[in-house]
Every structure is written in C-alpha cells, then in structure tokens.
C-alpha cells in the first residue's frame, strides 16, 4: 500500500499552519519589543521607574476597571465565537478547555497583582 500526495493536497493545510505560526511569532516579537525596552528603561532610570510604580499603585482602582473592561471584551468575543454559525459541535470541548486555561491564567495573574498590593 503506497501513499501518494500531491502538492495541491498538502499545500493548503500547510499554508494555513504557516500563517498561524507567523501570526503567533509576530505577537511574541511585539510583546518582546515592548517588554525589553521597558525593562531597559527601568534599569537605566530606577527613580523614574519607582515614580511610575507608585503612580500605578495609587491609581490601581482605575486599572482594575480597565482590566475588567478587557475581560468583558474577551468574554463577549468568546460568546460570539460560541454562537457563530460555523462553530461545530466537535469544536465545543476544545474551546471550553481553552477558555478554562485562559480564565485560570487570568485569575492567577490577578491574584499575583492583588497579593503585591497587600490588600
């Protein structure tokens, strides 16, 4: 039994995978492009970084509402995906697992933020 594949059969899924991988890599590079200069500035200018940190601590209620808005937006997008016409039954269980993992990560980040402020 021999398996033969043509380029027309293999290329569309491979192209889709490459596009998704490129988008993920771009997101990682953007995050690194923001995080590394911020870390460098914090090392070079510790007094200004301390002032920024204290400002963030003083306005933490504002940032709480900003994060709440972001989480609401994520929940609305998830509900829109769930109710989409092409969202098949076999996609529901993996989607639920993704949502549980994301929610757990968000909760752990929030716990770390609130523990740092000694509320």
pLDDT at residue 9, as a whole number: 65
Structural domain harbouring 16: 1-46
pLDDT at residue 15, as a whole number: 79
- Whether residues 67 and 115 fall in one domain: yes
> Dihedral angle at the C-alpha atoms of 72, 107, 21, 79, nearest 10 degrees?
-30
**One digit per residue, pLDDT tens: the chain, 119 residues?**
566 666 666 667 677 788 888 998 999 999 999 999 989 998 999 999 899 888 888 888 898 899 899 899 999 999 998 888 888 888 889 999 999 999 999 889 888 877 765 54
Contact status, residue 96 vs residue 102, Cβ threshold 8 Å:
no
Domain assignment of residue 66, yes or no: yes
- Whether residues 74 and 30 fall in one domain: no
The tally of domains found in the chain comes to 2
* CA pair distance 42, 48, nearest whole angstrom: 8
pTM value is 0.57
Domain assignment of residue 79, yes or no: yes
Domain assignment of residue 51, yes or no: no
């Amino acid at each position: 039994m021999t398996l033969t594949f043509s380029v027309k059969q293999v290329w569309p899924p491979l192209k889709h995978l490459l596009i998704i991988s490129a988008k993920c890599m771009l997101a990682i590079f953007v995050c690194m492009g923001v995080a590394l200069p911020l870390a460098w500035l914090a090392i070079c200018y510790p007094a200004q970084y301390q002032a920024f940190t204290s400002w963030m601590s003083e306005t933490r209620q504002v940032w709480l509402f900003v994060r709440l808005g972001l989480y609401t937006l994520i929940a609305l997008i998830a509900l829109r995906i769930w109710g989409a016409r092409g969202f098949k039954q076999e996609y529901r269980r993996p989607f639920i697992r993704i949502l549980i993992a994301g929610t757990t990560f968000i909760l752990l980040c929030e716990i770390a933020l609130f523990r740092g402020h000694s509320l």
